[in-house]
Structure 1
Amino acid sequence: MNHPEPTSAPAHFILNRIRKEVDAGLYSRVVTRFPPEPNGYLHIGHAKSIVLNFSMAAAFGGYTNLRFDDTNPAKEEQRFIDSIKEDVRWLGYEWENECFASDYFEALFGYALHLVDHGLAYVDGQDADTIRAQRGTLTEPGVNSPDRDRPPAESRDLLERMRAGEFPDGRYVLRAKIDMASPNINLRDPVLYRIRRQHHHRTGDDWVLYPTYDFAHGQSDAIEHITHSLCTMEFEDHRPLYDWLLEHLPVPSRPQQIEFAKLNIDFTVLSKRRLTRLVDEGQVAGWDDPRMPTLAGLRRRGFTPVSIRNFCNEIGVTKSEGIIPYGVLERHLRDDLNVHAPRRMAVLRPLKVVLTNFPENETEWFDAANHPQNPEMGSRRVPMTREIFIERDDFMEDAPKKFFRLKPSGEVRLRNAFIVRCDEVVKNDAGDVTELRCSLDPESRTGQPNAERKVKGTIHWVSAQHAIPAEVRLYDRLFNVPHPSGDKERDFIEHLNPASLEILDTAWLEPTLADAPPGQPFQFERLGYFAPDLDSTPEQPIFNRAVTLRDTWAKIEKELGGA
């Protein structure tokens, strides 16, 4: 049989395994699920799981469910559910069914009663610390609870009274009865249910008894007829429990769990606990702060769904963990935007230039291509006036020999326009350069005799009269060390990069950018790729730098030891 490959992704062990199973007739179609816990925003690590789950189902003519693991109401909120759905759709995927673990609370409780009635689970009255201490270690077996041999009828009575709210939080738990001497600690009579009086975002106060993830996970998969439950490697040791529960319960199907290595990227953290701390402590402006590795933050910064999907496909699917350089993610964004982002001119750190032989109170319009390699993107009209702004870095008074931008008595071409010569440098009393007085070569315009005259430098510019003022936010790595969470001596917060955000409030943009919608990427010529922020308005434009034109961190990462 021939199967379509998932969106240009290379083959990997999960794809090969599923193909063999389908070819052997074990499955008529493949059904996967993406099961986020709605207690925070999705990050780039979740994107890897999203791409994998949806692509595997699609490759074999199946579908994917979006299932919210809402078994811990203390931390779950509707806003997280909304953001997760927005992120998955933004990445380009649509789920078959929207499900919640809470949809199955009645069924799961029925499964719990089944285990109790068959002597496979018992109600334990010990406190959490005692149970933890009795669990044993990797080298020592656990100790049986004195309640382990409680009669099934007694455990059933207690379990039903636990559900009815008769007991306080922590008074009892339900535990599976497996093997306290198992070398796998997850099989040492794990807790399946806890009493927890927390208002649930969907079931309200109907339940005071909530299942653990280990109990809800596999049974929810079975209820939804999931064929392949794709999890990260930290769940590998939980798979025997996953299989034990499925084997001993009257579930409608038998899904199989397959583990793969989670994503790690340098110069950031992908722990939801650490990301939550960044937000709660005000270290960032929120879950969608463009410095955050959340999908909402990346989207706001200017990343595209294509760049993230291509990144996930390139890094592949393996069982061995590694650390991916952040520059790989940025490279995929550059590759995508280089093809699709229209070009515009903007001056971030302005220096005023007066063109002394340009007529006062006149405007000349120049044609500028929206994309130099794609004529189908058309062109725009750019205004030129006597006074313009250039980048302050594009002028140097005492320039070295190989400085090919503007300098005293030097010439450059203004992009899409003509050649100018710097005749005079104007300074203030402090000796700072405040203005350049230049003359233009009228014969160097397009269509004139000197239009092809060569000078070594070309710089961008905007008309001082027509340009629109804007705020530009330059984002960089959130941390200044490759592995901020790997430092055992210092809190990861201490490694925050103080230069991760620079706000420029004196930028000037060409007027065609006034009505750019939030998220629409542009290449600011010679500067990088930028996109309007969510807060940007025609009256107050705000642009975020998504990525520089070149990987300026490659050398730094090499000096720091890289990833």
Structure 2
Amino acid sequence: MFNYKKNENFIFKIINKDLKKKKIKQVYTRFPPEPNGFLHIGHAKSICLNFEIAKIYNGKCNLRFDDTNPSTEKKNYVKSIKKNIKWMGYEWNKKIFYSSQYFKKLYKYAIKLIKKKLAYVDKLSKKEIKKYRGTLKKKGTNSPYRNQSIKKNLYLFKQMKKGKFKDGEVCLRAKINMKSLNITMRDPVLYRVKNIPHYRTKNKWCIYPTYDFSHCISDAIEGVTHSLCSLEFLNNNELYKWILKKINIKKKPKQYEFSRLNLEYTVLSKRKLKILIKKKIVDGWKDPRMPTISGLKNRGYTPKSIKKFCKKIGISKKNNLIELSLLEHCIRNDLNSKTPRFMAVLNPIKIIITNISDDYKKKIIVPNHPLYPNIGTHKIYFNKIIYIDKSDFKENFSSKYKRLSLNKEVRLRYSYIIKATKIKKDNKGNIKTIFCTYDKDTLGKKPKNRKVKGVIHWVSKKYSVPAKFQLFKPIFTIKNPENKKKYLKYINKKSIKIKNGFIEKCFLEKNKFNSIQFEREGYFIINKKNTIKNKKITFNKIVSLKGKNY
């Protein structure tokens, strides 16, 4: 369960105070993604916070698409966002809202500001606006168009709406204070020209409001009480209040900021994630290496594990870098008690048991999970030829190596003790086959008069099927690539490794599970797309059994 508590963090304390003082009757939040890409793990933090608050306080949470930039927004992004939220287990309040549905109202509010001498049409270029705005150390300079008459500004703004200007030729700016210590308040842009069809409104509009202008008004129109956003919008809070005050709107929601999620070995900027896709470093938004919700889902992460992760990192005003191992711990913890266990050999080497006949076959019943009998059992078969992992054999014995060595013994998981007697190598000196004997009296029993250390996994050659395994490492080689300007310099060129091995044949009969633990290898999920494409069962590795994947 998610189990947020009403005194969990500073946001809950604010809500509690507002309810106690009767400033609000009902808590109303919203999740307002821009449909310009897929949601990532950072958005999951905001999803959990907004929807869980609404649930805890018997309030409402809107899903509102912040679709005011037609140059980057697409229908398929809207579709993926809705799908991700439902997969996470949340339902929005009644219908879906869009900033674009308020375009008429937003336009009228812009006219209102012009008439109050609080907005003007500026003909400075984007570069000039930035120069005039100044810096943290240098105050801004007024635009030469700042004191145009109301009549001229109204005329120019209506001309903008009629499509009389090219992109970037003019814009509507708020008239606030070019000497403000808060650079955001130095006459911010409210409307810009974009002669691009909108995915919802088509060619009806060619001017579009900025996020700062549309967001606060959309919140107010919908009756949102607590507008929650990340700390990157801290300086925008003053503008949020200014706009609502100057347009004289009745309901005035308040904006509260919390720290954004920063995760080790990845970037959580949609712009940067798009570059990874464009440069074909990853295979789209759904690539299992991507920190998107769709990517995590394809990797094998569960909604419960992501929610648990969001709960553990908490909500605060302090930005910090979250360890990737915490996310891995959450999925490992979720899968441990409900995931069946089978055996698979990812890097196979052949073993021939010399003291049994070619047609020998021993059926062994093994549990799907040693601690949970209710998950059931399955059959494995021990016979003359089996596969073990290459890493489980070393030609020369070492006291620290508790696996199979020449003239030494090891136990096969759920099976017999075997002893390596000789090896066969190829022309390059690589071990090709290991010859062993088995002790027929050691099935489920300890051998007499000797102690055998080490247990290794295996599969029968005859009763196994070929499989492909995709093993993943982080996309970046450094912990915080987000802080690097040349972040692509730190791309991990070995972020995916393909192994071809074998799995127990009976797995195909039991294939009704969402995830599988291959003993000693980790947790895996079937990659359905690649299985169909390659006509060979393919698995994505979710996470290792313990420790780090990298």
Q: How does 1:198-209 map to 2 (within 5 A)?
A: 198-209=196-207
Q: How does 1:342-421 map to 2 (within 5 A)?
A: 342-421=340-419
Residue identity opposite 1:18 in structure 2: I
* CA distance in 2 between partners of 1:111 and 1:51 (Å): 32
Match of 1:477 in 2: 474
Deviation at 1:517, TM superposition (A): 7.0
Deviation at 1:254, TM superposition (A): 1.3
Deviation at 1:383, TM superposition (A): 2.6
Pick from 67, 71, 88: which aligns with 1:70?
67
Residue identity opposite 2:264 in structure 1: D
- RMSD between aligned residues: 2.3
Residue 532, structure 1, aligned to residue 499, structure 2: no
* CA distance in 2 between partners of 1:302 and 1:452 (Å): 46
Match of 1:503 in 2: 498
Asked if 1 retains the 8 angstrom alpha-carbon contact of 2:423 and 2:431, the reply is: yes
Deviation at 1:357, TM superposition (A): 3.0
Deviation at 1:543, TM superposition (A): 0.6
Residue 520, structure 1, aligned to residue 533, structure 2: no
> CA offsets per residue over residues 284-337 of structure 1, 9 Å max, x none?
121122121111111111112111111111111111111111111111121112
Deviation at 1:25, TM superposition (A): 1.6
* CA distance in 2 between partners of 1:415 and 1:9 (Å): 49
Match of 2:284 in 1: 286
Per the normalisation by structure 1, the TM-score is: 0.92
The number of residues matched between the two structures is 547
> CA offsets per residue over residues 390-445 of structure 1, 9 Å max, x none?
11111111021122211122222211122222222222233221112222222222
Residue identity opposite 2:504 in structure 1: E
Deviation at 1:6, TM superposition (A): 4.3
1:438 aligned counterpart, secondary structure: strand
1:514 aligned counterpart, secondary structure: helix
* CA distance in 2 between partners of 1:54 and 1:211 (Å): 27
Asked if 1 retains the 8 angstrom alpha-carbon contact of 2:38 and 2:292, the reply is: yes
Task: Provide closer, same or farther for how the CA distance between residues 514 and 169 of structure 1 changes in structure 2, counting only shifts above 3 A.
Answer: same
Segments ≥4 residues shifted beyond 6 Å: 515-519
Deviation at 1:195, TM superposition (A): 1.1
Residue identity opposite 1:324 in structure 2: I
* CA distance in 2 between partners of 1:541 and 1:70 (Å): 41
Q: How does 1:2-401 map to 2 (within 5 A)?
A: 6-7=3-4, 11-96=8-93, 97-401=95-399
> CA offsets per residue over residues 62-95 of structure 1, 9 Å max, x none?
1211111111111111221122122222222221
1:535 aligned counterpart, secondary structure: helix
Task: Provide closer, same or farther for how the CA distance between residues 233 and 451 of structure 1 changes in structure 2, counting only shifts above 3 A.
Answer: farther
* CA distance in 2 between partners of 1:413 and 1:241 (Å): 70
Task: Provide closer, same or farther for how the CA distance between residues 480 and 169 of structure 1 changes in structure 2, counting only shifts above 3 A.
Answer: closer
Asked if 1 retains the 8 angstrom alpha-carbon contact of 2:6 and 2:13, the reply is: no
Per the normalisation by structure 2, the TM-score is: 0.94
Deviation at 1:463, TM superposition (A): 1.2
Deviation at 1:60, TM superposition (A): 0.8
Deviation at 1:117, TM superposition (A): 2.0
Task: Provide closer, same or farther for how the CA distance between residues 267 and 515 of structure 1 changes in structure 2, counting only shifts above 3 A.
Answer: farther
Asked if 2 retains the 8 angstrom alpha-carbon contact of 1:518 and 1:531, the reply is: no
Asked if 2 retains the 8 angstrom alpha-carbon contact of 1:524 and 1:530, the reply is: yes
Deviation at 1:142, TM superposition (A): 2.0
* CA distance in 2 between partners of 1:515 and 1:274 (Å): 43
Unaligned 5+ segments in structure 1 are 557-563
* CA distance in 1 between partners of 2:85 and 2:260 (Å): 18
Match of 1:458 in 2: 455
Pick from 487, 494, 503: which aligns with 1:492?
487
* CA distance in 2 between partners of 1:452 and 1:531 (Å): 42
> CA offsets per residue over residues 184-220 of structure 1, 9 Å max, x none?
1111211100111011111111110100110011011
> CA offsets per residue over residues 100-124 of structure 1, 9 Å max, x none?
1111111111111121222221222
Structure 1 residues 107-116 or 351-360, which shifts more? 351-360
Deviation at 1:352, TM superposition (A): 0.8
